[in-house]
Structure 1
Amino acid sequence: MLQHDRVVHHPLGGASYYFKESLLKYVNAQCSRPAVVLHVGAQPNCTPHIGNITTIATCFALGAALQTRFARNVRVKFVFVDSAPSPGHEIVINGVKYQRSLKQMGTLEEYKPAFIHVLDRLSELSGVPYETATQSFWRANPAFPNVIRSLVARHETLGARLSPETGRLAIRVPCPHEGCGLADKHGLNNEYHSDDRIAFICPEHGEHHISLMAPHEVERLEFNTPLRNLIRILLCSLDTDTSWIMCTGSDYAGFYQEQLTWRLLEQPATAPVIFYTPLILDWSGAKLSKGLYVKEDGYKYLVDAGHRYLLDGEVFLQTRDGLEALFKEVQDWVDKPYKLFRNYSLEYLEMQLVARGMGEHEWEEDK
């Protein structure tokens, strides 16, 4: 391994150059409506790790700064993506991928408490209140049916834009037969009818459909990530009482957001601010991934070295002053944006947490 001088550099470029002194003032100016809600979410198919905990902590740090410096009415809205596939419940039949969601399998509750523990503590540290919801929050929005109808009317062109690999609009509805719940993950076999019906195919029970004119049926719809993101952006744009800030990891910045969101908006000036948080990277420069942790045991080297707290939120919360140290670190990023618009290695972050007062973790199995 190459040795280095342990000197940290923050070379300026792009956003870090132009917002190095004025980020908070700029973000506050974009929030012209009375209330400010910071949206953050996660697919709760495993315990939170240091990567998504860092995103959540940065969201609370931004909220605290807006609340303190500009006396804004701020709260955090944490949305569980319960429409995400439940681990081990994706199957391929005749080349079509089907899934059963976390909601369908009732597995949302397994990891929800770990997220709530993190949210509770960050709310205490920041002084910013929060509330949680599932995807039903967006479907219950009065504007949701009209937004969906407008998107479905363009399903051919939007399918090619939002799902470049399949060319199909990734709308799905779980099979309504009791005990089934299978859904065509990418909407490959969907049929769109002129009478505002969408037909879906279950490989076991055949065709079922919903009407876009029936609100109780529209509430059953689920979407892939780009389409879900576009729907959120459109709904938040129509909210006349609340300025929304969407907090997400910086892997969703750049080409992804430019091609799958901004180029599709008719009125981008009304869209919410998207606030990107640094990624936490492993030794190779890849972002920390829950998929590798859950499915492939890709971080066995961390566990073997006694660093499971970086992967398991519950273990991290048992680390003395660990979350407090992380919150101090991300507050520094928000205060000094040249530290915000970049990514950080696990090794660097751990060094910073120790420097900011993190002590030993207390779980016996890790000692």
Structure 2
Amino acid sequence: MIRHDQVVHHPLGRGSYYFKTNLVGYLSDQCNKDKIAFHIGAQPNCSPHLGNICTFTTGFALARAMNEQFQRDVKVKFVYVDSAPAPNQSVSIDGVQYQKSLKHMGTEQTPFVHVLDRLSDLSGVLYNIETQKYWHLNPAFPGVVRSVVARRETLGPHISPETGKLGIRASCPHPGCGLTDKHGVKNQYHDDGRVTFFCPHHGEHHVNLASSQDLERLEFNTPLRNLIRILICSQDADTSWIMCTGSDYAGFYQEQLTWRILEHPENAPIIFYAPLVLDWSGAKLSKSMYVKEGAYKYLHDAGRKYMIDATTFLNAERGIEALYEEVKNWVKNPYMLFRNYSIEYLDMRLMARGMRLP
């Protein structure tokens, strides 16, 4: 490895140049509703690790700063993506990908609760936990879904470039099945407002877009779910939304699959991109890679399991406290938020802030 001088540089550019000192004030000014909600989320089967914990911490730290500096009514809303595919429940039949969702299979959510509880205690910001049902029960949801379906001929190719189809799906209602056409390839849309879905084992089943009960069955791929969520938040009369997510969702992805297709982007919620935690190669730290391929063995060997295991991190003396203090410093000096951080750098900073490994 290349030896370095341990001097940290923060070259200004893009967001760090324009918001190097007054990010929190700018965010507060952009939120013109009485209440502010910081949205964070994750798949319930994706155990917390240093990367997504950094994203959660950024949301709580920004919320705390807005409350302290501008007396804003803030909360954190954590929404599980329980419509994501369940592991080992995908199959290809006649060239079509089918899957079962986490919601259908059920999953454990406890590790996230422990992390969120600690961050709430440290920041003094309250939070609550929801599933995708939260969006389905929103009064704006039916109208948003119908408008998206009406634009399917143009939206499909734009946000699903591999298939050209809207990524709408519904699990087969046959007892014990739950299979769904992952990409909505075989969906049929009817003039009477029905959508026909296809199960390779049990045939056709239908959703009536005029039925609130039927609408609860719908699931969406990631770009479409993001679009629908943004459209719903755009219509919220009481709350200004700030969507806090990892910066791997920034750039071309968001520009092409969201912003370019919004009819009224001025009403859209703010999307704030938290710094990524990068491994030695510059790739983001990923729990799913660790689980699937046994990656990051070198972190175990170096006694740094805490980076990929939330329980180890929470058991480390002053572990979560050190991270919160570090991220609070990023918020205090916003130019530090518009970049990513290596695992080596964060390990050094957490140790300097008093973390002691078990």
Q: TM-score range by the shorter chain?
A: over 0.9
* One-letter code aligned to 1:240: A
Secondary structure of 2:328's partner?
A: helix
Shift of 1:46: 3.1
Shift of 1:168: 0.6
Secondary structure of 1:166's partner?
A: coil
Task: Find 2:356's aligned residue among 355, 359, 363.
Answer: 359
- In the alignment, what sits opposite 2:202? 205
Q: Could you report, residue by residue, the CA deviation over 1:91-120 in whole angstroms, capped at 9, with x for unpaired residues?
A: 11111111111111112xx2x110000000
Equivalents in 2 of 1:341, 1:7: separation in Å? 18
Task: Find 2:132's aligned residue among 119, 130, 135.
Answer: 135
Equivalents in 2 of 1:159, 1:297: separation in Å? 36
Task: Find 1:159's aligned residue among 145, 156, 161.
Answer: 156
- In the alignment, what sits opposite 1:262? 259
More divergent stretch after superposition (138-147 vs 292-301): 292-301
- In the alignment, what sits opposite 1:33? 33
Alignment of 1:80-91 (within 5 A): 80-91=80-91
Equivalents in 1 of 2:41, 2:70: separation in Å? 25
Shift of 1:314: 1.2
Number of equivalences: 358
CA contact (8 A) 1:74 1:128 kept: yes
* One-letter code aligned to 1:3: R
* One-letter code aligned to 1:126: S
Secondary structure of 1:20's partner?
A: coil
Alignment of 1:51-62 (within 5 A): 51-62=51-62
Shift of 1:306: 2.0
More divergent stretch after superposition (299-308 vs 279-288): 299-308
- In the alignment, what sits opposite 2:312? 315
The TM-score, its normalising length taken from structure 1, stands at: 0.96
- In the alignment, what sits opposite 2:77? 77
Secondary structure of 1:89's partner?
A: strand
The unaligned stretches of length 5 or more in structure 2 are none
Q: Is residue 324 of structure 2 the alignment partner of residue 327 of structure 1?
A: yes
What is the RMSD of the two structures over their aligned residues, measured on CA atoms?
0.8
The unaligned stretches of length 5 or more in structure 1 are 362-367
Equivalents in 1 of 2:51, 2:157: separation in Å? 31
* One-letter code aligned to 1:210: V
Q: Is residue 206 of structure 2 the alignment partner of residue 220 of structure 1?
A: no
CA contact (8 A) 1:46 1:294 kept: no
Kindly report structure 1 stretches of 4+ aligned residues shifted beyond 2 Å. none
* One-letter code aligned to 1:25: G
Equivalents in 2 of 1:93, 1:330: separation in Å? 46
- Identity of counterpart residues, as a percentage? 64
Equivalents in 2 of 1:95, 1:46: separation in Å? 28
- In the alignment, what sits opposite 2:334? 337
CA contact (8 A) 1:151 1:158 kept: yes
Alignment of 1:92-131 (within 5 A): 92-107=92-107, 110=108, 112-131=109-128
Equivalents in 2 of 1:252, 1:47: separation in Å? 19
Shift of 1:156: 1.4
Q: Is residue 67 of structure 2 the alignment partner of residue 67 of structure 1?
A: yes
Shift of 1:311: 0.4
Q: Could you report, residue by residue, the CA deviation over 1:290-345 in whole angstroms, capped at 9, with x for unpaired residues?
A: 22111111112212322211101111100111000000111111111111000000
Secondary structure of 2:82's partner?
A: coil
Equivalents in 1 of 2:301, 2:5: separation in Å? 27
Secondary structure of 1:333's partner?
A: helix
Equivalents in 1 of 2:44, 2:9: separation in Å? 35
- In the alignment, what sits opposite 1:235? 232
* One-letter code aligned to 1:134: T
Q: Is residue 289 of structure 2 the alignment partner of residue 289 of structure 1?
A: no
Equivalents in 2 of 1:166, 1:299: separation in Å? 34
Task: Find 1:195's aligned residue among 192, 197, 200.
Answer: 192
CA contact (8 A) 1:47 1:314 kept: no
Q: Is residue 301 of structure 2 the alignment partner of residue 301 of structure 1?
A: no
* One-letter code aligned to 2:126: P
Q: Could you report, residue by residue, the CA deviation over 1:118-139 in whole angstroms, capped at 9, with x for unpaired residues?
A: 0000000000000000000000
CA contact (8 A) 1:168 1:188 kept: yes
Shift of 1:193: 0.8
Q: Could you report, residue by residue, the CA deviation over 1:18-60 in whole angstroms, capped at 9, with x for unpaired residues?
A: 1112211110001100000000000121321100000000100
